[in-house]
């Protein structure tokens, strides 16, 4: 904002020589509005602006000025002292109504500092004292239009920055939906639960769809209503043979080895959003594929663990049967050995053996009985080792 007229002149005079004089713009958004309650003064300025090639309109009061403002007006030449609403109040209301782009050049016969400060406080950009030369007014207009160009450039950059920031925030919010799915997917213990999470996440984007999960004969199709109908199965089967990501109309297919996702309801009127959805859904499908693989591994691990537990349980039963049978056999062997020794001693009476012969036979029988007892102890030791091994297997399986 230029407060003193000599500042704006210096800005033009100090421009690099190679740029040449700053041209006066006459295109869209650079028209001038001449506001003065003196018709003669308006006519003089209109003629001067016409010679400079400027498009101009006029207003005879502050009220008419406010009504005439539009996007085509870039410079307002505003008289300070007017009947009714003066120039200072007119400028203040312009700014209050949101007209920030217009460059306001105040015109007054009073060039005192107090008047200039009032003009500055109201939102003015420059000041020119009556009477003025046409060349001086032309310089003022050039400076104003130069400021307009800078304002438009900055406004455009700010709009682009806002748009980029909004797109980034939207993308972050949309990606948050995928991240939440990833977090939830870790808790999915079956393909049914995983399919429900995939379809629920798609619905958060305003999409409806079908998903097929699994490998080979174990693949299963799901819809929001539950298991797929025959028609839905045929759609998934056809989609499985398409490329990794395939879009047709408002539908999109995404394929991974263990996942086929078919969604509909894409907002084709918003291609930027569709592009972001394409990326988000690809991440969603890839994450679902990884989780489906993990579920398959976990289920195979659980199946093997159950098989091991079943084998341990069966072996435990067999060892229990062996222990009971061995205990019975041990009792029977002791009984048989005792009976054998008793009958052997009773038979000595009829054999006519010497005392030494009888002792030798008893010793042989006793030695055999002890050998049998030792074998039984070895079997007990082996049984205990098997029992310990089964206990270890059972603990690890759990």
Lowest-pLDDT range, 106-115, 151-160, 181-190, 251-260? 151-160
- How confident is residue 162, by pLDDT bands cut at 50, 70 and 90? low
CA gap 393, 317 in Å, rounded: 14
Token readout for 224 is 């929001």
- Match 């969603």 to its residue by tokens: 284
CATH top-level class for 5-155? alpha beta
What DSSP character marks residue 101? S
* pLDDT above 60: residue 6: no
> What pLDDT score was predicted for residue 36?
94
Task: Give me the residue spans of the domains in the chain.
Answer: 5-155, 166-300, 302-397
CATH T-level topology, domain 166-300: Beta-Lactamase (3.30.450)
* pLDDT above 70: residue 184: yes
Q: Per-residue pLDDT averaged across 77-106, rounded?
A: 93
> What pLDDT score was predicted for residue 13?
42
> What pLDDT score was predicted for residue 8?
44
> What pLDDT score was predicted for residue 221?
93
Q: Per-residue pLDDT averaged across 58-69, rounded?
A: 94
Residue 185: closest CA among 119, 59, 283 = 283
pLDDT tens sequence across 235-291: 999 999 899 999 988 999 999 999 999 999 999 998 988 988 899 999 999 999 999
Spatial strand order in the sheet of 56-59:
56-59, 31-35, 73-79, 103-108, 126-129
104 near 124, Cβ under 8 Å?
yes
> What pLDDT score was predicted for residue 398?
59
pLDDT tens sequence across 21-43: 445 655 566 789 999 999 999 99
- How many Cβ atoms are within 10 Å of 162's Cβ, its own excluded? 10
Across the chain, mean pLDDT equals 82
* pLDDT above 80: residue 298: yes
- How confident is residue 311, by pLDDT bands cut at 50, 70 and 90? confident
Count the residues in the chain: 398
What DSSP character marks residue 264? E
* pLDDT above 60: residue 53: yes
Q: Per-residue pLDDT averaged across 342-349, rounded?
A: 74
Q: Reduce the DSSP state of residue 104 to 3 states and report it.
A: strand
Annotate 13-26 with b (16+ C-beta within 10 A) or e (fewer). Answer: eeeeeeeeebebbe
Q: Per-residue pLDDT averaged across 50-74, rounded?
A: 91
């Amino acid at each position: 904002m230029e407060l003193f007229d000599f500042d704006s002149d210096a800005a033009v005079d100090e421009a690099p020589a190679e740029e040449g004089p700053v041209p006066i713009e006459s295109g869209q958004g650079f028209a001038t509005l001449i506001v003065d309650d003196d018709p003669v003064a308006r006519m003089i300025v209109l003629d001067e602006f016409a010679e400079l090639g400027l498009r101009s309109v006029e207003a005879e009061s502050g009220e008419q000025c406010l009504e005439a403002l539009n996007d085509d007006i870039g410079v307002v030449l505003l008289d300070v002292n007017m009947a009714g609403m003066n120039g200072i109040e007119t400028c203040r209301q312009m700014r209050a109504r949101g007209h920030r782009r217009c460059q306001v050049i105040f015109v007054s016969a009073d060039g005192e500092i107090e008047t200039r400060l009032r003009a500055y406080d109201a939102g003015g950009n420059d000041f020119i004292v009556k009477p003025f030369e046409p060349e001086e007014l032309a310089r003022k207009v050039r400076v104003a239009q130069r400021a307009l160009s800078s304002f438009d450039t900055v406004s455009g950059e700010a709009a682009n920055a806002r748009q980029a920031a909004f797109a980034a925030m939207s993308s972050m919010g949309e990606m948050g939906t995928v991240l939440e799915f990833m977090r939830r997917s870790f808790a999915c213990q079956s393909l049914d639960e995983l399919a429900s999470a995939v379809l629920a996440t798609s619905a958060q984007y305003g999409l409806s769809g079908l998903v097929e999960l699994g490998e080979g004969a174990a693949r299963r199709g799901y819809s929001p209503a539950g298991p797929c109908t025959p028609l839905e199965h045929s759609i998934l089967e056809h989609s499985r043979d398409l490329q990794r990501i395939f879009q047709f109309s408002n539908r999109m297919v995404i394929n991974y080895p263990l996942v086929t996702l078919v969604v509909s309801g894409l907002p084709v009127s918003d291609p930027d959003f569709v592009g972001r959805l394409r990326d988000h859904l690809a991440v969603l499908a890839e994450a679902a594929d990884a989780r489906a693989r993990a579920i398959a591994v976990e289920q195979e691990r659980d199946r093997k663990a159950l098989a091991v537990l079943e084998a341990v349980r069966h072996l435990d039963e067999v060892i229990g049967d062996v222990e009971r049978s061995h205990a019975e056999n041990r009792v029977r062997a002791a009984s048989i050995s005792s009976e054998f020794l008793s009958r052997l001693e009773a038979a000595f009476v009829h054999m006519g053996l010497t005392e030494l012969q009888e002792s030798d036979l008893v010793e042989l029988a006793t030695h055999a009985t002890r050998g049998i007892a030792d074998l039984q102890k070895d079997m007990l030791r082996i049984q205990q080792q098997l029992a310990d091994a089964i206990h270890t297997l059972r603990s690890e399986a759990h």
